[in-house]
Homo-oligomer: A and B are copies of this chain.
Amino acid sequence: MDAKNKFLSGTLNTIVLALLSENGRMYGYEICQKTKDKTDAAILLTEGAIYPTLHRLEKDGLINSSKEKVNGRIRKYYSINDSSIVEINLQIDLLTQFTGHLRSLLKPSL
């Protein structure tokens, strides 16, 4: 019950899409590490969450995958599907707006 990231719920899809938009081509494990690094370990993605998320996004046609052997190990790289860029940017914008509204609701405590 550590629940490191109880706020994460619902935002993981969009975080992944944003990282792929920015970085072009990433694999699951890398996404977890990158997120950890960029947030000073404040947001920790678990593998049990990231892999199903990637599979879901691919099934929904938002991202593509390709396997590649690197240093003897298989990596599965993902990148955004160009034909979904509009949809992806919309989702990112919506989440950005949501966090803005959220912060305005929380602000009085500052």
B18–A109 touching, CB < 8 Å: yes
Cα distance A5–B105 when bound, in Å?
Answer: 15
B-binding residues in A (CB < 8 A): 5-11, 14-15, 18-19, 21-22, 35, 38-40, 42-43, 89, 92-99, 101-106, 108-110
B18–A10 touching, CB < 8 Å: no
A21–B98 touching, CB < 8 Å: no
A14 and B95 contact, Cβ closer than 8 Å, known pairs A9-B9, A43-B101: no
A109 and B97 contact, Cβ closer than 8 Å, known pairs A7-B10, A38-B104, A43-B102: no
Cα distance A66–B7 when bound, in Å?
Answer: 29
In the complex, which of the residues B11, B22, B97, B109 contacts A102, with contact meaning CB atoms closer than 8 Å?
B11
